[in-house]
């Protein structure tokens, strides 16, 4: 069912969703209305799917801790989720599965060096964080796959077992937001999500 699992009427009241980001709801609405999320042509269809989802949702969660609480207590059975939080629950013995729908939303944490920062120290920090030993230790600790290319850097069995791990390093089933397109509609579409989230 892919993203349409979040619209399964038989699961009404056992569905959750990340409520803190208009663009996430729009991304799923695009997938559910058979549109390319980076080339949405029919915003009305997107928000209609978001309304349909809202009618089935027990709760829109607002933090990783709340997500884990809802899943571990079986208050919800399906939701989009952060893979590291799912991995943490799996490590605690909860029988929770994870899948990325086709064209699921990809994201990656970033580090930036601000203008005027001391370059020698900044380069030392970045080199330290990108060192395979450090990157692997961080990935194991946070339970999110490393950003290093697994075809070039050997990953541990623990990392290979993480829910969102992709041994090809291509992330071919996922798509990153086109920042130009999404930023251009943010103001208008945030208002739409605010209406939908309140029942409009």
Q: What is the mean pLDDT of residues 27-53?
A: 97
For position 162, what pLDDT does the model report?
Answer: 96
**Backbone φ, ψ for residue 59 (5° rounding):** -160, 140
Instruction: Please tell me the number of Cα atoms within 13 Å of 92 on its side-chain side.
Output: 13
Domains of the chain from N-terminus onward:
2-106+173-197 (3.40.190.10), 108-170 (no CATH)
Q: What is the mean pLDDT of residues 38-60?
A: 97
Structure tokens at 79: 């939701």
pLDDT in tens, 158-186: 999 999 999 999 988 899 999 999 999 99
Q: Above 90 in pLDDT, residue 110?
A: no
155-163 long-range contacts, CB within 8 A, separation 24+: 162/83, 162/84, 162/87, 163/83, 163/86, 163/87, 163/90, 163/98
For position 26, what pLDDT does the model report?
Answer: 97
Record the pTM.
0.89
pLDDT in tens, 125-144: 999 999 999 999 999 999 99
């Amino acid at each position: 069912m892919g993203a349409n699992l979040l619209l399964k009427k038989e699961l009404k009241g056992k569905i959750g969703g990340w409520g803190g980001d208009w663009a996430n709801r729009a991304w799923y609405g695009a997938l559910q209305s058979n549109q390319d999320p980076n080339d949405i042509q029919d915003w009305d269809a997107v928000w209609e799917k978001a309304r349909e989802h809202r009618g089935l949702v027990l709760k829109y969660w607002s933090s990783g801790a709340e997500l884990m609480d809802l899943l571990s207590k079986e208050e919800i059975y399906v939701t989009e989720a952060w893979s590291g939080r799912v991995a943490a629950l799996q490590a605690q013995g909860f029988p929770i599965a994870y899948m990325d729908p086709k064209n699921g939303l990809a994201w990656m944490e970033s580090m930036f060096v601000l203008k005027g920062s001391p370059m020698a120290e900044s380069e030392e920090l970045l080199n330290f964080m990108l060192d395979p030993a450090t990157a692997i230790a961080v990935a194991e600790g946070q339970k999110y796959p490393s950003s290093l290319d697994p075809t070039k850097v050997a990953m541990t069995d623990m990392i290979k077992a993480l829910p969102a791990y992709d041994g090809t390093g291509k992330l071919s089933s996922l798509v990153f937001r086109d920042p130009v397109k999404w930023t251009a509609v943010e103001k208008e579409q945030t208002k739409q999500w605010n209406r939908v989230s309140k029942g409009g």
